[in-house]
Structure 1
């Protein structure tokens, strides 16, 4: 999942290790990786905390202007560790007297959990200057953490100051809170948000991962609006999105987004030639749906497929075992997507069809009326021999 890849990148930055050395961790759920990162952060910032706390107490006797001078002499790391132990209003009073380039370096060493109030007490003009410095340094991961802590006025000021829309997407990629991300996107003027998304679909920009992450993390309404905006681009752009998702195996992130698009947009995606030219993509989508509990999202899309695409789906689904078939049928049971499942069943190998028939018979022991309805539906789709 993209969320797991992002968590590994955050963890690699925290541990000052190449992301490639932690690549195996992407197999774990993002929630587990986030907990691991928070534990590592706590361990790192707990080191010598007592000593930094005593220094912060001592510094309370020193006027803020003089502390600002001492901070620049002490350097960004020591300043960050002591600032975290100060009352937020005291740290903000000192920070106001420090230049933005120095504060940008201090931000790289702040405890992200314990410095939120300090960040919120900084004036918007200083936050803007610091943010622009961090952008120049390419510190988008850090900016994502900082963005979680900003008040709305400061957020608007930073957004207005960031000229390149693509940088907003790069920052959004690393935000921690989905709720906060949704709120910040709502603060952004619609025309600018649309421009940012359109910019990302340009082949000359390497922003497709950011767009997929943004779509996956937004609430339903915004996901629907932006998803349709992206999907209404030329077919070449849509094919590129599919290829990026395939290259990075982002189907657990993209399938839920596609499931919430308008039916007309969904149909347009299903008609893309790349799905027929590279049928293994369908196999990877099916595997992702089974591994990540997305059958209920995938089955409605299957129900919209033409016979040619259903044949390809059947060919790829032939590799599923009985347990996967049971999970798909359970999703069909809970979401009433039997029509889609039975339609594709006619393209499955005989063994998988037999599995479906046996599972339907098992349902009949609990709900005979359901079995009769499913048998009728199966026979209408060319599966008469299974219930002779």
Structure 2
């Protein structure tokens, strides 16, 4: 299970409830789809039972010009209440009022808007205003709110916004995107040069965000991101592996390593982090938990001899059930050629345990 989408969803729930994300850290261990559904239920609970007062205010705004309603929003309501009222208005009316508000006030209000109302309101706003509000959100560092809006912005707006925001903003917003299925299109809009700069910026403490984006794309885009990361200076690439080890994000990294050309995979295998016994010992249970043996074994084959021995020793201490699951996965994917060197490096008691496992016995009985 890739933990990063669930982590992002947990941060969004914390924002909705105006609480510290640490209070909900336990949610990040759950399947992302379940946490996403919880976020949707949270949105419904927060916005569907709004006080009748909001409807009365919304009706009152229809009686005055949009400019007057905008002035009332600023002076009497404030960003939070103004956003709540906007969620009760017809989208066209909300757009008319927003058009009269200062960009800074609108950007602050966006954080409090019912997320389900965003598509219809965005559709009624001038593209120039959408650009200005998007840039203002970036300047505020409000990536979670940007993540709600980006998927609903037309390409013509994104083409104008992307050059005006930093690479860090692109990474943080991509990680927080409410609709990750739109990431491949956004990556395409960025172009190769910008994508290279964005990946390079991940070395400044943003590797998890980059991994989240890479996990949401496939095919040539995933290979491109993986290759760009592999071509970073060795110290930066080593920091990626150590970040993954510290945060137990192997399920996000190993599929990327698996798509690398052999030369780049050798570069990864030679990193100091992958000669660190503590890192390697933690890697084995992660591979067991995620079932990513097919992605890991080609990397194992390229590790230095001492590192391979450390991995083999750690694998040899796994419970029988985990070893049997390994053997069955290897058999299913026909990875025996890759796993046998791992078994050969184990001590004799571990080898004996493996050879008596049901999966090995089953294979031995095959013609």
* Structure-1 separation of matches of 2:344 and 2:364: 21
Matched, 1:19 2:21: yes
1:58-78 CA-partner distances (Å, limit 9, x unpaired)? 533433222222222322222
> 8 Å contact 1:134–1:140 — kept in the other structure?
yes
In the other structure, the counterpart of 1:378 is: none
1:293-320 CA-partner distances (Å, limit 9, x unpaired)? 3223223323444543321210121231
> 8 Å contact 2:274–2:303 — kept in the other structure?
no
In the other structure, the counterpart of 1:297 is: 295
1:214-250 CA-partner distances (Å, limit 9, x unpaired)? 2222222111111111101222121111111122221
In the other structure, the counterpart of 1:229 is: 228
Where in structure 1 are there 5+ consecutive unaligned residues? 370-388
1:79-98 CA-partner distances (Å, limit 9, x unpaired)? 21221222222211221111
What is the correspondence of 1:221-370 to structure 2 with a 5 Å cutoff? 221-276=220-275, 278-305=276-303, 307-358=305-356, 359-365=359-365, 368-369=366-367
Secondary structure of residue in 2 paired with 1:173: helix
* Structure-2 separation of matches of 1:87 and 1:303: 61
In the other structure, the counterpart of 1:125 is: 128
C-alpha displacement of 1:34? 1.6
> 8 Å contact 1:65–1:94 — kept in the other structure?
yes
* Structure-2 separation of matches of 1:329 and 1:88: 58
Secondary structure of residue in 1 paired with 2:295: helix
1:69-128 CA-partner distances (Å, limit 9, x unpaired)? 222232222221221222222211221111101101110111112322212322222122
TM-score computed with the length of structure 2 as normaliser: 0.91
> 8 Å contact 2:118–2:149 — kept in the other structure?
no
Secondary structure of residue in 1 paired with 2:152: coil
RMSD: 2.0
* Structure-1 separation of matches of 2:273 and 2:84: 52
TM-score computed with the length of structure 1 as normaliser: 0.87
In the other structure, the counterpart of 2:177 is: 175
In the other structure, the counterpart of 1:190 is: 192
* Structure-2 separation of matches of 1:98 and 1:178: 30
* Structure-1 separation of matches of 2:257 and 2:293: 13
C-alpha displacement of 1:336? 1.4
Aligned mate of 2:37, from 35, 38, 42: 35
Aligned mate of 1:56, from 55, 58, 67: 58
* Structure-2 separation of matches of 1:102 and 1:53: 21
Task: State the number of aligned residues.
Answer: 362
* Structure-2 separation of matches of 1:4 and 1:57: 39
* Structure-2 separation of matches of 1:234 and 1:69: 53
Aligned mate of 1:92, from 77, 91, 95: 95
The alpha-carbon distance between structure 1 residues 9 and 327, as it changes in their structure 2 partners (threshold 3 A), is: same
* Structure-2 separation of matches of 1:49 and 1:263: 61
- After TM superposition, the runs of 4+ consecutive aligned structure 1 residues lying more than 6 A away are none
The higher relative CO (CA closer than 8 Å, separation ≥ 6) is in: 2
Secondary structure of residue in 2 paired with 1:16: coil
> 8 Å contact 2:317–2:350 — kept in the other structure?
no
In the other structure, the counterpart of 1:8 is: 10
